[in-house]
Chains A and B, each alone.
Chain A
Amino acid sequence: MTTSIQQENGELVARLEGRLDTAVSAQTEKDLQPLNECQNMNIVLDCNKLEYISSSGLRIFLNILKNAKAKGGRVIITGMNADINKVFTMTGFTNLFEFR
């Protein structure tokens, strides 16, 4: 699992690649910590190369959303595959996030 964070067109874009499961969730949460420190910026979670997400990964996404909202920002998700879309649908996460 790898992550990268870049500022693009006034947004903070986090690109996630690989399988976000129990084994890597603690490290991924640390890697994505800079997203929680930004102020008044929209965050884009680019999931084009994310293959899998477990409940521990969903919790990371949820924390990012809570932090962003508290600071007046939005979180937008792009490029989910069918498996991740299924997980988002069955947990009601499709109602929490914006998608592009």
Chain B
Amino acid sequence: MISVRHLSKSFLSPDGHRVEVLRDVNFDIQSGEVVAIIGPSGTGKSTLLRMLNRLETPTSGDVLVNGKNILAKDYPVHQLRQKMGMVFQSFNLFNHLSVLDNVVLAPMKLLGLTREQAEQEAIEMLRKVGLAEKAHAMPTSLSGGQQQRTAIARTLAMHPDIVLFDEPTSALDPTMVGEVQGVMRTLTQEKMTMIVVTHKMRFARDISSRVLFLYDGVVLEDGTPEDIFSNPQRKETRDFVHRIRKLTFEIAGSDFDFYDMSSQIKQFCISCSMPEKMDPVTHVVEEMLVIMQQFSKSIHIEVNHSDLDRTSTVVALHRGETLSPLDRDDTDELAAMIVRGMSKSIQTELTPEGVQLTIEM
């Protein structure tokens, strides 16, 4: 249905540097799929969505819809937008028109429906989104959730083949998110093809049949919600879906500032609302340094905390080494006992840079 081929987008920043928003993005979307596009802020998710219906023009690459290149100069854009509806973060309703008039406007102007036909369909669409009784209300008298449901009804009134949702709930009060998500869930049951850019991980997992993880301008992972949320292959995906907060230290010699390190760990634990982890984390970091500095001076330490499951880990990379520093005969056994005693589990992994220990607290 949609084929995206080698799509790239870049622009010149005010200081003259070329900023690459998207780089060589490729994917296919079949009819009936519900695709969630997730990824950190500023990674090009909305830009990608807007290029699918030509609200933005790519720097290079192709977008084929039903085999036709929509970027071709003679491609009829208005037909594309009829078949590919879009729901925006900020609703984009006409505030001087009633809910009903917002919904009938495009079908009358673009599909050539009579007022009577358009109203009949509009009422049906408003019923679908639970707003039939608000048909004659003005948008400004509605809640944010109701306005967004009106915007969805307006999009559906054009009988689109595909609906693009650009952060549809991010401008809403948390109490109103559920009603919009409920309408979108109904659409998935009707096998509507949907592409949804969202920051809501649980929602993305619940409604989508497929998830694209966009990171630094490329599709880093593409899989089922189970693949992406339960078994992500890439570290970046894992960190993102588990909402990992990080504190990192690079230690190049024995004269590093331990006072500063302790202070940063303290601040990090407080900012993650886990002051009770401050001493155990400090113990593990400090003792790992005592152990690793016996053998190597190039050490990378990360303290990670997942906001999702409230777990904390210390990752210690011992560059240039292949043996776990905890398992060596000449290790500092007292320090190793404290590391083992403070941790729930320790995983050892050999990476191209050296041996890496992931210590779960």
Contact = CB atoms under 8 A, between A and B. Distances in A.
A22 B76 CA distance: 70
Interface string B137-151: 000000000000000
A91 interface: yes
Interface in B252-309: 258-259, 262, 279, 282-283, 286-287, 289-290
Contacts of A91: 334, 337-338, 341
Given A22-B289, A52-B282, A87-B283, 16 more contacts: A21-B258, A22-B286, A22-B290, A23-B262, A54-B286, A54-B287, A55-B332, A86-B341, A87-B338, A87-B341, A89-B341, A90-B338, A90-B340, A90-B341, A91-B338, A92-B337
B267 to A, nearest CB: 15
A90 B283 CA distance: 12
A59 B341 CA distance: 17
Interface string B21-47: 000000000000000000000000000
Contacts of B283: 52, 54, 87
A55 B258 contact: no
Interface of A: 19, 21-23, 52, 54-56, 58-59, 83, 86-87, 89-92
Contacts of B341: 86-87, 89-91
26 contacts: A19-B262, A21-B286, A22-B258, A22-B286, A22-B290, A23-B258, A23-B262, A52-B282, A52-B283, A54-B283, A54-B286, A54-B287, A55-B290, A55-B338, A58-B334, A59-B334, A83-B279, A87-B338, A87-B341, A89-B341, A90-B338, A90-B340, A90-B341, A90-B342, A91-B337, A91-B338
Q: Which 10 pairs of residues, A with B, have the shortest CB-CB distance?
A: A90-B341, A23-B258, A55-B335, A55-B334, A91-B337, A83-B279, A54-B286, A22-B258, A23-B259, A22-B286
Nearest to A87: B338
B316 to A, nearest CB: 15
Contact of A90 (B279, B289, B337): B337
A86 B286 CA distance: 16
Interface in B313-351: 332, 334-335, 337-338, 340-342
A59 B332 CA distance: 11
Nearest to B260: A23
A55 B262 contact: no
A53 to B, nearest CB: 9
A6 to B, nearest CB: 28
Contacts of B340: 90
Nearest to B332: A55
B130 to A, nearest CB: 54
A54 B287 CA distance: 7
